[in-house]
């Protein structure tokens, strides 16, 4: 268990390290994320430390609303005091402030003593606060692991924080540079803290609801609790928290120093208070739940957050809470340690080192020493915090330790607020106020609390009283001593810069009625910009405005605006306005304007110089600048890389002759006379003539040197490494030597290849023609096969139709059981032959394109119920179980095609399943209906799944007989319905077939009267016409068994004669009656109806597979029956016709009686 939590802590800290490292990268994504105002706003939540995460819950459980002021103070500052925060940030940016001690010291005359005093107070306030975080980390491990000792854990956490702070906090000596990785890591930790507290509050409330009853917030809403809002302690601690959000060194650094843009404050104004409000809302929930659940136990209120997570028995919640507590502690320690180390280094240690360096006369770069000092200071601060933790925090609650730190650090508030808004504020007031406040703080707070003779409530009240009294005494002494203190010039300058920071102005200068001429303004421009640049700008102005300036003319507003913009580029916009306005009005600038002028001018010059140096440093060419005395005065990094001179040689002011002579001594000029080479180069510089040389150095690199004289004397030279270009040029020259020979050789090879290609093309052309002929022959053969199958199927269906009718007639005879068994087998054989011939006929018709689907809305349940019943009987005969789950639905399909597809698939499933069951499922999902058939049959091997839908495919593992045409028909029909059959199968385990169709709306149904059905055929006269005598005999035998009076004819003329003589009530016709196309069954029906002048009910019985024939039957009102004829269908059709005839007679009889 211990190892697991330690591992988790290490992994989380490693995650923070990785996140911060990624944020430090200069990638576009990292810069965009770390520059987002939300990251800055969440980083401000470093204010919420382990005191918030653990201690405030304990305080809320003991004293209800007393926890709230610590959250309320910062909320009020950022919501109401937004302008104060904005001004504080603006001034700090303009003055390049690094820490809170630097801010106060800079404001009060840049006195080092002020910075030292502020640093001591910050140190006294921060060390206990860091110890508080270490205590929280130790308690967290101790509670989770149930270990009595936590010193090793605290030492490990302290070591990691030291490494993290040293790595990310001392990479640059400039602490004002935005530390992207650190801010991103802090923002991430703030998110983890918030998530952990919200989850614990939810779990705690759920647990309370399951075990308790009554109002949840009763303890927080009673009279005693509500009275705390007006108590002195509540108000005092709100003021303390509001002051602490400004005065805490770590908070000042994150909010002010690490502010990347003033615009980020607009987001922080609402996001940071919202963060604090959410935390303030969940703390009482956790306190109430913890107090109810852990009542009567030894669980400390400060550990309710972690105890509730353990109570939930959720490992994930415990991990989140553990990580949240670790985040709350580590983020504060890291930033507080970095801030305090910067203050100690800059205000205590570095002044002594710089003084020693000046005294000894040594001038060298000490940036490495500064980094080393800061790292040592970081380690020392953490060591002191660890020792304080060991000695003082064992008997203190987290809340009391936090309040003690707050009560001390707020002593800096008068110096900060007064420094921003009161110009007479003086360093003497800061000294007096801080000393008096510190003394009262020690006497009133520290000594009584250390004695441990006061209770917790008294201690809380004592801290609030002492803080207010010491702060009031501090403010009073600050005002009195500042008022009577004498002000130096530096005090007035700094007061003006802090109280009235200059803002950029866009308003243009308005002309005044003075004696200022154009010549005066050009003189002013040349003073700041130089004569040459001034002349150039004035000429550009004249060209753009199409005018000519006269030096004695009075300047117009356009020229005044032009001069202001030109000066603004050099000395800053606001200083340019003040300077030009002063010249126009003819008055002297007051003290404030002088201060602002030099401030803006300095900033503009610094910006221009920084831009120039940055540009030089990032150039690919080396640059060196020599003054008129031929001394080196400037160079860039690229120059020092090209010429690695010794450190003591490459310095400002070194004669260029020494550098040239050093290069000569290193053999850079070859074996020539060194003195003559040095003199030749110096002569170029003295002459001031531009030059361009290319030299190859001893290391093989080729350097191009371009020199140009400077206007006031001196020389600027650029050094460009063109080694790569020279090597490319040499390679090109070498490659051109044998280019023609290679081209000639390649040309011959191309001719040879072209000849071979022509031969290959001719061969392939011949082969392609042969393939085309073979494919044409195969297509013709296939078409002939299809036509043969169609014709043969038609001829075979004729005798098969007769056999079917004879068998049906025999089945209705009263015969012996043995004879019935033989007839039943004969019927199965005829049905099998019928199915085979029907399949062949379907294949032929589909391949010929004669069958077209009739797409309509189909009731799936009504269509498939008979099929399922039929297949269930077959499955039962084999000892199988067929289970069908058909959801009521309608689909867009041809009902015949759909029936045939499912008939084949179900038939195969039953046929190839020896044991087990077959499952048939129809279900609709959204706008799609899925049909799925599963069986536990023999299955299909994976290598045959792609061939099962071919014609004549049969599984070798099957004992069943058949030609393997069923799935071929399924494939053709499914293509017609625009669906695909999906197959999954495992050999020996079974198969599944599935396809889908679009869902359709149900057809509108008409009401059908439930009249009694009279199905007696007695006395019904039927004329049967067929050119095959055996069909007529079979049909006559069957109909006579049903009581029908049958008349037979096998040609056109006999049929007409019989029709005229007997006047049949029903006509049953074959289609092909003769070799003459016009004398067919449909034509005969039409002729008989015409002769009899009666629309006689008729049915066409044919084996001709033609869709157009079905359409003609519908148009003529003739029923269509396909051969071989099914007796059941024939009987149903006759019943329908008989009812129609009898209903028609009843209608006629009724009409006659009415007449």
In a domain, 826, yes or no: no
How far apart, in whole angstroms, are the C-alpha atoms of residue 251 and residue 78?
A: 13
Q: Quick one: 573 and 693 in the same domain?
A: no
Q: Are residues 990 and 1059 in the same domain?
A: no
Is 70 exceeded by the pLDDT of residue 845?
no
SS in 3 state form for 463-486? Answer: HHHHHHHHHHHHHHHHHHHHHHCC
Q: Verify that 540 and 633 share a domain, yes or no.
A: no
User: Domain check: are 629 and 605 in the same one?
Assistant: no
CA atoms within 13 A on the CB side of 922: 21
For residue 317, tell me if it sits in a domain: yes
Same domain membership, residue 681 and residue 602: no
My answer on whether 524 and 491 are in the same domain is: no
Report the pLDDT averaged over residues 378-387.
78
List strands edge to edge, sheet with 881-886.
Answer: 881-886, 917-925, 928-935, 990-998, 982-986
Q: Most confidently modeled of 141-150, 409-418, 725-734?
A: 409-418
Give the C-alpha separation, 974 to 403, whole Å.
81
**What would the mean pLDDT of 251-260 be, rounded to a whole number?**
85
pLDDT given at position 1105: 63
Which of 686, 709, 735 is the last residue before a domain boundary?
A: 735
Whole-number Å distance between alpha carbons of 895 and 508: 87
- What CA–CA distance (Å, rounded) separates 709 from 713? 7
pLDDT at 959 over 60: no
**Both structure tokens of 1054:** 């006999």
Q: Give the three-state DSSP class for 349.
A: helix
User: Has residue 635 got a pLDDT over 90?
Assistant: no
> Hunting for tokens 């991103």 — which residue is that?
184
The better pLDDT of the pair 309, 417 is held by: 417
Query: What is the model's pLDDT at position 1041?
Result: 82
Would 746 be classed as within a structural domain? Answer: no
Band (899; pLDDT cuts 50, 70, 90): confident
Query: 680 pLDDT exceeds 80?
Result: no
pLDDT tens digits, 702-760: 888 888 887 767 788 888 888 888 778 777 777 776 677 778 788 888 888 888 888 88
Is the pLDDT score of 456 beyond 60?
no
Q: What digits encode the pLDDT tens for the residues 908-952?
A: 888 888 888 899 999 888 889 999 999 988 888 777 777 777 665
pLDDT at 373 over 80: no
807 pLDDT above the threshold of 80: no
* CATH number of the domain to which 1072 belongs: 3.40.50.2300
Mean pLDDT in residue range 214-234: 80
Distance CA 268, CA 264 (A): 6
The residue ranking higher by pLDDT, 811 or 300, is 300
Asked whether residue 823 is assigned to any structural domain, the reply reads: no
Same domain, 582 and 549: yes
Tell me which of 615, 639, 665 is where a domain ends.
615
The rounded distance, in Å, linking the Cα atoms of 1115 and 194 is 79
Q: Is 105 or 295 the better-scoring residue by pLDDT?
A: 105
- pLDDT for res 514: 55
Residue at 570 is within a domain: yes
Residue 76 has pLDDT above 90, yes or no: yes
| 175 — pLDDT class (breaks 50, 70, 90) | very low
Greater confidence, 838 or 121? 121
Question: Are residues 960 and 1037 located together in one domain of the fold?
Answer: no
pLDDT (0 to 100) of residue 476 = 93
Residue 274 has pLDDT above 90, yes or no: yes
User: Is the pLDDT reported for residue 856 higher than 80?
Assistant: yes
CATH number at residue 42: 1.20.1730.10
Same domain, 991 and 1067: no
Does 935 reside within a domain?
yes
Query: For residue 273, is pLDDT > 90?
Result: yes
**Is 763 inside any structural domain?**
no
Domain count of the chain?
5
Which tens digits make up the pLDDT trace of 414-443? 999 998 898 888 888 988 998 988 888 777
Bigger pLDDT: 603 vs 640: 640
pLDDT of residue 5: 65
**Residues in a beta bridge with 1022:** 1046, 1066
Taking only the tens place, the pLDDT of each residue in 863-873 is 888 888 888 88
Cα gap 608→603, rounded to integer Å: 9
Work out the pLDDT band at 4, boundaries 50, 70, 90. low
Give the pLDDT confidence score for residue 278 in this predicted structure. Answer: 92
pLDDT computed for residue 276 by the predictor? 92
Cα–Cα distance measured from residue 272 to residue 45, given in angstroms and rounded to the nearest whole number? 7
Structure confidence at residue 510 (pLDDT): 44
What average pLDDT does the structure give for the chain?
Answer: 77
CATH of the domain at 678: 3.30.450.20
Q: Which of 496, 524, 557 is the C-terminal boundary of a domain?
A: 496
Q: Is residue 814 part of a domain?
A: no
The pLDDT of residue 1009 = 43
Does the pLDDT at position 216 exceed 60?
yes
Give residue-wise pLDDT tens across range 995-1045: 999 988 887 665 444 444 444 677 788 989 988 887 888 888 888 888 888
In this structure, the answer to whether residues 585 and 680 fall within a common structural domain is no
Question: Is 162 in the same domain as 264?
Answer: yes
Distance CA 367, CA 372 (A): 9
SS3 672: coil
* Tokens, residue 378: 């970081």
**Centroid of chain to Cα 806:** 76
**What is the spatial distance between Cα 905 and Cα 31, in angstroms, rounded to a whole number?**
63
Report the percent of the chain where pLDDT is more than 90: 5
Indicate the range of 169-183, 399-413, 842-856, 1035-1049 predicted with least confidence. Answer: 169-183
The angle formed by the CA atoms of residues 556, 559 and 560, to the nearest 5 degrees, is: 85
- In this prediction, residue 513 has a pLDDT band, given cuts at 50, 70 and 90, of very low
Most confident of 292-296, 427-431, 842-846: 427-431
pLDDT band at 223 (very low <50, low <70, confident <90, very high): confident
Most confidently predicted of 328-337, 604-613, 623-632, 848-857: 623-632
pLDDT at 164 over 50: yes
In which domain, by residue range, is 889 found? 852-998
The CATH number assigned to the domain holding 929 equals 3.30.565.10
pLDDT at res. 332: 75
On whether both 574 and 630 belong to a single domain, the answer is no
Least confident of 288-297, 341-350, 623-632, 778-787: 778-787
Which of 470-484, 638-652, 1125-1139 is predicted most confidently?
A: 470-484
Tokens 């995460």 sit on residue: 53
CA distance 268 to 79: 10
pLDDT of residue 448: 54
């Amino acid at each position: 268990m211990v190892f697991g939590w330690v591992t988790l802590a290490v992994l989380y800290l490693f995650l923070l390290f990785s996140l911060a490292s990624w944020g430090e990268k200069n990638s576009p994504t990292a810069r965009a994320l770390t520059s987002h105002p939300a990251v800055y706003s969440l980083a401000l939540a470093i204010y919420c430390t382990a005191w918030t995460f653990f201690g405030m819950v304990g305080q809320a459980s003991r004293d209800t609303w007393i926890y709230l002021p610590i959250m309320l103070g910062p909320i009020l500052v950022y919501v109401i005091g937004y302008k104060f925060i904005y001004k504080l940030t603006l001034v700090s940016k303009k003055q390049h402030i690094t820490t809170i001690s630097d801010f106060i010291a800079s404001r009060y005359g840049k006195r080092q003593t002020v910075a030292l005093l502020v640093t001591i107070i910050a140190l006294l306030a921060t060390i206990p606060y860091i110890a508080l975080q270490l205590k929280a980390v130790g308690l967290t491990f101790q509670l989770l692991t149930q270990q009595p000792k936590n010193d090793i854990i605290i030492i490990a956490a302290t070591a990691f924080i030291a490494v993290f702070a040293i790595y990310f906090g001392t990479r640059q000596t400039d602490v004002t540079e935005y530390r992207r990785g650190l801010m991103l890591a802090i923002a991430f930790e703030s998110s983890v803290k918030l998530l952990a507290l919200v989850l614990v509050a939810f779990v705690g409330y759920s647990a309370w609801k399951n075990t308790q009853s009554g109002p949840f917030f009763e303890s927080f809403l009673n009279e005693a609790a509500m009275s705390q809002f007006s108590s002195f302690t509540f108000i005092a601690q709100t003021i303390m928290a509001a002051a602490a959000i400004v005065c805490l060194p770590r908070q000042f650094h994150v909010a002010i120093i690490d502010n990347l843009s003033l615009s980020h404050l607009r987001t922080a104004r609402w996001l940071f208070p919202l963060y604090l409000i959410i935390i303030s809302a969940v703390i009482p929930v956790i306190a109430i739940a913890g107090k109810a659940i852990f009542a009567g136990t030894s669980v400390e209120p400060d550990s309710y957050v972690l105890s509730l997570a353990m109570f939930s028995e959720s490992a994930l919640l415990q991990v989140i809470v553990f990580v949240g507590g670790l985040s709350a502690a580590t983020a504060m320690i890291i930033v507080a340690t970095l801030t305090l180390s910067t203050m100690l280094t800059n205000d205590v240690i570095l002044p002594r080192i710089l003084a020693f360096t000046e005294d000894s006369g040594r001038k060298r770069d000490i940036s490495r020493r500064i980094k080393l000092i800061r790292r040592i200071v970081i380690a020392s601060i953490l060591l002191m915090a660890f020792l304080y933790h060991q000695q003082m925090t064992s008997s203190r609650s987290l809340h009391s330790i936090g309040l003690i730190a707050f009560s001390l650090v707020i002593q800096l508030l008068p110096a900060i607020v007064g420094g921003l808004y009161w110009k007479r504020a003086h360093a003497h007031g800061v000294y007096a106020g801080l000393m008096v406040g510190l003394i009262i703080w020690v006497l009133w707070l520290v000594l009584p609390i250390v004695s441990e003779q006061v209770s917790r409530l008294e201690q809380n009240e004592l801290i609030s009283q002492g803080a207010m009294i010491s702060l009031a005494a501090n403010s009073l002494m600050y005002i009195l001593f500042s008022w009577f203190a004498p002000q130096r010039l530096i005090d007035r300058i700094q007061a003006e810069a802090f109280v009235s920071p200059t803002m950029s102005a866009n308003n243009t200068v308005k002309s005044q009625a003075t004696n200022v001429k154009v010549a005066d303004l050009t003189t002013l421009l040349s003073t700041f910009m130089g004569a040459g640049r001034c002349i150039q700008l004035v000429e550009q102005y004249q060209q753009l405005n199409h005018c000519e300036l006269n030096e004695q003319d009075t300047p117009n507003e356009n020229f005044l605006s032009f001069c202001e913009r030109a000066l603004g580029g050099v000395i800053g916009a606001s200083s340019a306005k003040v300077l030009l306005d002063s010249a126009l009005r003819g008055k002297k600038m007051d003290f404030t304007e002088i201060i602002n002028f030099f401030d803006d001018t300095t900033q503009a010059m610094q910006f221009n110089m920084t831009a120039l140096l940055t540009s030089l440093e990032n150039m690919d060419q080396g640059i060196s600048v020599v003054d008129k005395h031929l001394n080196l005065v400037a160079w860039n990094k690229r120059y020092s890389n090209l010429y690695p001179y010794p450190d003591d040689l490459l310095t400002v002011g070194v004669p260029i002759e020494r550098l040239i002579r050093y290069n000569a001594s290193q053999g850079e000029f070859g074996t020539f006379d060194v003195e003559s080479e040095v003199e030749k180069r110096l002569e170029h510089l003295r002459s001031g003539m531009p030059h361009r040389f290319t030299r190859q150095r001893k290391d093989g690199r080729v350097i191009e040197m371009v020199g140009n004289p400077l206007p006031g004397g001196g020389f600027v030279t650029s050094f460009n490494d063109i080694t790569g270009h020279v090597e490319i040029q040499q390679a090109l020259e070498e490659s051109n030597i044998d280019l023609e020979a290679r081209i000639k050789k390649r040309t011959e090879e191309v001719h040879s290849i072209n000849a071979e290609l022509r031969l290959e093309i001719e061969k392939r052309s011949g082969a392609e023609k042969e393939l085309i002929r073979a494919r044409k022959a195969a297509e013709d053969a296939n078409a002939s096969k299809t036509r043969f199958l169609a014709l043969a199927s038609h001829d075979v269906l004729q005798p098969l139709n007769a056999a079917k009718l004879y068998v049906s007639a025999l089945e209705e005879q009263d015969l012996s059981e043995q004879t019935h068994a033989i007839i039943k087998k004969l019927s199965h054989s005829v049905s099998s032959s019928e199915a085979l011939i029907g399949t062949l006929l379907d294949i032929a018709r589909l391949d010929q394109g004669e069958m077209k689907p009739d797409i309509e809305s189909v009731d799936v349940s009504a269509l498939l119920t008979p099929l399922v019943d039929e297949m269930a009987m077959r499955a039962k005969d084999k000892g199988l179980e067929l289970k069908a789950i058909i959801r009521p639905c309608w689909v867009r399909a041809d009902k015949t095609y759909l029936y045939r597809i499912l008939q084949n698939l179900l038939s195969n499933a039953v046929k190839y399943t020896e044991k087990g069951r077959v499952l048939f499922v129809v279900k609709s999902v959204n706008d799609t209906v899925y049909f799925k058939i599963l069986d536990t049959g023999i299955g299909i091997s994976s290598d045959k799944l792609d061939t099962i839908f071919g014609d004549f495919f049969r599984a070798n593992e099957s004992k069943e007989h058949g030609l393997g045409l069923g799935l071929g028909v399924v494939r053709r029909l499914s293509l017609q319905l625009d669906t695909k059959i999906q197959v999954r199968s495992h050999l020996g385990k079974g198969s599944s077939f599935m396809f889908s169709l679009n869902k359709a709306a149900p057809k509108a149904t008409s009401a059908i009267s439930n009249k009694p059905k009279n199905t007696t055929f007695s006395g019904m006269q039927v004329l049967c016409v067929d050119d095959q005598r055996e069909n007529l005999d079979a049909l006559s035998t069957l109909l006579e068994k049903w009581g029908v009076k049958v008349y037979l004819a096998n040609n056109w003329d006999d049929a007409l004669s019989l029709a005229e003589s007997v006047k049949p009530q029903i006509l049953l016709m074959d289609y092909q009656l003769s070799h003459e196309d016009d004398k067919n069954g449909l034509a005969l029906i039409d002729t008989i109806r015409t002769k009899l002048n009666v629309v006689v009910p008729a049915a066409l019985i044919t084996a001709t597979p033609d869709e157009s024939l079905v359409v003609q039957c519908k148009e003529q009102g003739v029923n269509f029956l396909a051969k071989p004829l099914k007796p059941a269908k024939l009987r149903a059709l006759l019943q329908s016709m008989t009812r129609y005839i009898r209903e028609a007679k009843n209608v006629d009889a009724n009409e006659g009686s009415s007449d």
